[in-house]
Structure 1
Amino acid sequence: MADIRVTYDKTVNAAYVYLTDPQVQPRSARTYPCDPVDIDGMINLDFDEQGHLIGIEVLAASSKLPEYILKSAERLDAVE
């Protein structure tokens, strides 16, 4: 199984799931938001120029992602 990089900022309760090679920093060409009414939050899908899904931004992450993922995520805020 491939390692997936996940970052989390508890201050803003946002996580990002990277779906690319960790050595590559692709640029997002398009972002498509999911309907926040249906999911009680916001999830954005980022695509590169070729239309490949490169990442998923999850707002209100603590209510959308399993706790073990957030605990193991790379922290972008000051850890308490």
Structure 2
Amino acid sequence: MYAERRIALVCTYDSDADAAYIYLDHPVPPGGVQRMVHFDTEEGMYNLDLNAQGHVVGLEILSAGKRLPPTLLRAILNQPQEQTEIG
């Protein structure tokens, strides 16, 4: 069975660190991340945060300015296209 639904996700972007975080469960309570699964590919570095039950609660994307669509980063920063330099 295939189902499609648009849902709002909470996303953050730290332009100084060039890191984005996509919350799949929000808010993640203090101590809510029990394990981080790191994977590094030629395309970038990513971290999956898991809770005590092993559910993915968030995804961190490093070098996000090179990995994510500029329109997404601008939307997170809530800035028009001409005001944002990303990456």
CA RMSD of aligned residues (A): 2.0
| Correspondence for 1:53 | 56
State yes or no: 1:15 paired with 2:5.
no
State yes or no: 1:25 paired with 2:28.
yes
Between 1 and 2, higher relative CO (CA 8 Å, sep ≥ 6) is seen in 1
**What is the aligned residue count?**
73
State yes or no: 1:44 paired with 2:61.
no
> Partners of 1:60 and 1:35 in 2: how far apart?
12
User: Which of structures 1 and 2 has the bigger CA Rg?
Assistant: 2
- Say whether the 8 Å CA contact 1:6–1:74 is kept in structure 2: no
Q: Structure 1 residues 62, 48: closer, same or farther in 2, change over 3 A?
A: same
For normalisation by structure 2, the TM-score amounts to: 0.73
Give deviations 1:33-67, integer Å, cap 9, x for gaps: 1124x22x310000100011100001100011111
State yes or no: 1:63 paired with 2:66.
yes
For normalisation by structure 1, the TM-score amounts to: 0.79
> Partners of 1:46 and 1:5 in 2: how far apart?
15
| Correspondence for 1:6 | 11
Structure 2's unaligned 5+ residue stretches are 1-5, 79-83
| Shift in Å, 1:25 | 2.5
